[in-house]
Chains A and B, each alone.
Chain A
Amino acid sequence: MAHLGVGEPSDPTGDRATPSAPAVPRRILNAVLRGSEGWTGIGAVLVVLIVALSIARSDFLTSSNIWNVLRANAIPIVMACGMTFVIIARGIDLSVGALLALVSMLLGEALTHGWPGGLAVVVVIAGGLALGLVNGLLIGVVKINFFVVTLGTSLIFTSCSLLITSGNTITLFGVRGFGLTNTLGNANVGAVPVPAIVAAIVFVVCYAVLRWTVYGRDVYATGGNPDAARLAGIPVDRVTVAAYGISGLLAGLAAVMYTGRIESATPQVGSDLALAVIAAVLLGGVSFAGGAGSIVGTLIGALLLGVITNGLDLLGVSSFWQGDVTGAILIIAVFLDRFRRRA
């Protein structure tokens, strides 16, 4: 926003209820580039990419490939939904990748020790919630910087997951009680992958919470202007704690899906998973500065990353290129986002 305050043309009475309507084509272009939700631009990129890939590869727009993309990206989508709460509340959660590894190891341990499958799943997801709340309490109540806290807990979670089996992978194939976990991560209902269904449910619930509940609006208020929120009587501390709790809970759920998908629990989950999730959220137009963005953008951002990976695969390009492409798109997207904010 303009720091010098005044300077834009305006009528001197200052009361502009409605902006004047520009010509229709420009309006559409504006709506795409500067949509108030912040995701229309990246949505257009996704559409263009899908059209281009459909033309380039006849095997792209097939139902099996589509389900494949959704199956592969259900886990980052679930985590990104949680991350959206945190980033809108003016934070960042660097620990979700390590948290996923730790929860996955706990689940593996529980199942190999003969816990009933349902109980084990519920308990470890609750464990994810608890770990997220630890982040939240240190940040929201003890008031330690979020970057420091989640970086620290990320190191701790990674270390703990290595300690459990001295770094070894727990194979779960055929273990009694693994059925539910396996279903969540790997099964199909008809042609539809169960993980995609889980991700869809998580997305819809998160959308509703952010958009229609008082808690959701409080998250925007907290991130947009913490002082204002506090003075308005919003329990800013609790809102923050809850945001990290949600992130932990969903990372825990993602851990179950991940464990089911690879049929084992391993401490060696890519530590860049957290960064990929953050990239998806920022791609979707959620502002690093807090208070702005929408979970629809997060979904589009995560899908865009997934489609890029899939497209490179189909085109026979080395997957090592993936980082270059997504990195460049991320920087360009945030750069273009500035023009929207000036509006």
Chain B
Amino acid sequence: MTDGVLVALHGVVKRFGPVQALRGASLEVRRGEIHGLAGENGSGKSTLMRILVGDVTPDAGELTIDGGRTRWGAATAREAGIGLVHQEPHLAPDLTVAENVFMGRLPRRLGCVRRRELAARIAAVSGKTGMRIDPRRLVRGLTPDQRSIVEIAKVVAAEPRLIALDEPTASLTGDEVQRLFVLLTRMRDEGCSVILITHRLKELFAICDRTTVLRDGKTRGTLEVAATNEDELIRLMVGRELAETNRAPQRPGASALEVRSLTRGSTLRAVSLDVRAGEIVGLAGLVGAGRSALIRTLFGLRPGYEGEIRVAGTAVSIRSPRDAIGVGMGVIPEDRRGWGLCLDMSIAENIALSAYGHRRLVAPVSRAALRRQADQLVRDLSIRTRSVDTPVRSLSGGNQQKVVLARWLTHDLGVLILDEPTRGIDVGSKAEIYRILDALAARGLAILVSSSELPELLTLCDRIYAMYYGALVAQFGRDDATEESIARAISGAEAA
């Protein structure tokens, strides 16, 4: 089996402070294969990749390239032709697309950049990757999905022998994912090896030859994709069977959130929607369709809208998050690290965060009471931690998301809005979050969920709105919502 192995990592161990990220992970990648890397969040996939490219030095472990033992490090990885497409694009904002793609490898003569040579090379890379972005543009002005494409082009341009991609599809649209897969397949056929990290099992089955599964920092097995199925993969990933959480049909209660003709520049065009108490309503749309704009407007992050917002039957004016919280709305943002959490503060403090704002200035905050409350919520939501004093930074993505959820449960909440609630969260925690949302709806909360993952919306929601170019273009109920019908609507196939 060692025949044809390009890169092998064995017994890799890495500890970050109190967190044991890897405890004996192994991975063998053959020449000319697409190798999936699956595992829940916090299972160590990203760390293993960062070790592979020399970004992080492991505490123990062996690296073999082309059959020979070598040292860990960025220089080794560069010489061996190993490139990593990071989850968060590693780009310099005030360099052009071309300069970013050839960062560190700019064609030079006497220390000066050869502009013509650079233009010729970037044209070749654009041709190969299908990148349709003007290479002279500054990265500063690009959208997140465009940046992901530049990040991929940057690694491909180095003509790697092994390209590793850390969740490249998370910020790409369906079309772009297809184009990426065509590119990866072609690179494999030309003899390049590919490591693909993704949370979407469908993608693993669509493109990978073999898949290695990590759990809790250890390798649990490597499977031939053709000879396995989703159940076996999930079993390896979570170490337990998952219960399906299909919601029973609900009887919707009174109207909780009504939006009428909400308009904001060209990002939102006359959006009208209803969410009733006890209902989970989905918002489907491609990247840039206006889902996030709608959520940010509803929560007062983008004041200056036209139209009407009614909460629990009363017209309200929402000009700041304070207004929104005041009328009983809560939001769980897409970027929980950037917007949702103070990573270095404890779980208890994070849960109490928005409670502070609603006490009168001089009212003393009882720390003991806050701790008791946090203890209760940690138990209710089964947040896995030793204590409520643990900094949020050391939790896995799923548990961090539960902390954000817990915060809103300390409020008298009528409407909960979630933007990509399970992005970057593993399958196990996903199911738990679905169960929590289900229980909250059963208690009479109105929930609005925006997601780019259609299966998630189909599992979770009673009704789904499809959004296209800032407008709601279709609505689906339990009986007529299918992946195909929604995909058609959000890609504009049914738009006027």
Contacts and interface: CB of A to CB of B under 8 A. Distances in A.
Interface of A: 1, 3-19, 36, 212-215, 217-218, 220-221, 223-225, 227-234, 287, 291-293, 341, 343
A328 B55 CA distance: 43
A14 B92 contact: no
B449 to A, nearest CB: 15
B334 A5 contact: yes
Contacts of B286: 12
Interface in B325-341: 333-335, 338-339
Interface string B78-110: 100000100000111111000110011110100
Q: Which 7 A-B pairs have the closest CB atoms?
A: A224-B92, A228-B90, A232-B104, A10-B288, A12-B286, A233-B104, A232-B103
Interface of B: 53, 55, 74, 78, 84, 90-95, 99-100, 103-106, 108, 111-113, 132-134, 138, 140-141, 143-146, 149, 154, 171-173, 175-176, 265-267, 285-293, 296, 301, 333-335, 338-339, 419, 468-470, 490-492
Contacts of A5: 144, 171, 292, 334-335
A14 B180 CA distance: 14
Nearest to B134: A17
Given A231-B90, A341-B140, A217 B106 contact: yes
A8 B105 contact: no
A9 B143 CA distance: 10
B91 A225 contact: yes
Given A17-B134, A18-B134, A4 B111 contact: no
B104 A8 contact: no
A8 B134 contact: no
11 contacts: A4-B333, A4-B338, A5-B171, A6-B292, A15-B133, A223-B92, A225-B90, A227-B55, A232-B90, A233-B105, A292-B140
Nearest to A37: B94
Contact of B296 (A4, A10, A220): A4
Contact of A215 (B111, B143, B288): B111
Contact of A9 (B95, B267, B334, B338): B267
Contacts of B154: 232
A221 B94 CA distance: 8
A16 B149 CA distance: 12
A14 B146 CA distance: 7
B134 A234 contact: no
Quick one: which of A212, A228, A234, A341 has the most chain B CB within 10 A?
A228
B103 A15 contact: no
Contacts of B492: 12
Contacts of A7: 267, 290, 292-293, 296
Given A3-B339, A4-B296, A7-B296, A225 B93 contact: yes
A243 to B, nearest CB: 15
B439 to A, nearest CB: 27
Contact of A10 (B141, B143, B176, B491): B143
Contact of A36 (B138, B469, B491): B138
Contact of A13 (B103, B175, B301, B334): B175
A221 B105 contact: no
Given A1-B140, A7-B267, A217-B95, A12 B113 contact: no
B51 to A, nearest CB: 13
Nearest to B78: A233
A36 B94 CA distance: 9
B334 A233 contact: no
Contacts of A215: 111
Nearest to A340: B140
B177 to A, nearest CB: 11
B92 A9 contact: no
Nearest to B285: A12
Contact of B146 (A1, A15, A229): A15
Given A3-B338, A3-B339, A14-B176, A292 B94 contact: yes
Contact of A213 (B53, B113, B339): B113
B467 to A, nearest CB: 10
Contacts of B291: 6
Contacts of A4: 292, 296, 301, 333-335, 338-339, 419
A6 B288 contact: yes
Nearest to A294: B94
B111 A6 contact: no
A221 B92 contact: yes
